[in-house]
Amino acid sequence: MVRTQLRARGIEDERVLAAMAEVPRERFLAEEQRPDAYRDGALPIGEGQTMSQPWIVACMTALLELEGDERVLEVGTGSGYGAAVLSRCCAEVVTIEHYPSLAERARATLAELGYTNVEVRVGDGAAGAPDRAPFGGISVTASVVGEPSPTWFEQLAPGAALVCPVRHDHNEELMRFRDGRREPVVPVRFVPLVSERPEGADETEPDEGAEL
């Protein structure tokens, strides 16, 4: 995986490559998905969510340009795999998951593997973790529409990067935001960030016929 999916496709950060080689991806999956763990694709993890393709995990981690002493925020814990990879590249990870079932499973897997520098929280990742800010990097693993949450920028240390998939119309792109600059990286397809804000009032009433 490291040689053919990552190095050959431009991932050069040796610390990220070492983390990808070290973290046992199969341990973050259910038994029936394990044979496919090192396949070049995303995999289902329950609750309609997915664990990202290895290349995406490596790319997002590398984009943060971590030196090892940072505290990093991850929004969207999912299986916990991305948090595990991040935890090998920085001092501490705070990761937030919307679904309690996924957070619980991720917490258990991370503990089994002895990755003690990861804190898994249940909640709305859009609010970040103000009590642990500022962060030396923020990785968002679900897509936002338009612009990332302003709260994340408030919780980012000067010079640190925020990496986030952003959707515009039908296009989605992984973007890196740093020091007021925005760089498009690669077209992607992520699950949407679940919004916990009451936005229902703006939505069109469902067609009653659809109930049949």
Separation of alpha carbons 172 and 184, rounded Å: 10
Segment 67 to 126, residues that bind ligand SAH, using CB under 6 A: 75-76, 78-79, 81-82, 96-99, 102, 124-126
Smallest distance from the beta carbon of 74 to ligand SAH, in angstroms?
7
Show the binding pattern over residues 28-57: x = contacts ligand SAH (CB under 6 A), - = does not.
-----------------x---xxxx-----
Smallest distance from the beta carbon of 141 to ligand SAH, in angstroms?
4
Amino acid letter for position 100:
P
Determine if residue 181 is left, alpha or beta; phi over 0 gives left, psi from -120 to 50 gives alpha, anything else beta.
Answer: beta
Q: Are strands 43-46 and 49-51 parallel, antiparallel or unpaired?
A: antiparallel
Separation of alpha carbons 106 and 49, rounded Å: 13
Separation of alpha carbons 83 and 2, rounded Å: 18
Whichever of 78 and 137 has its CB closer to ligand SAH, that residue is 78
User: Annotated catalytic residue: which of 52, 79, 139, 143?
Assistant: 52
Q: Are 107 and 84 in contact (CB under 8 A)?
A: no
Segment 115 to 174, residues that bind ligand SAH, using CB under 6 A: 124-126, 141-142
The owner of tokens 């992607």 is 188
Tell me which residues are annotated as active site.
52
Chain positions contacting ligand SAH, by CB under 6 A? 45, 49-52, 75-76, 78-79, 81-82, 96-99, 102, 124-126, 141-142, 191, 193-194
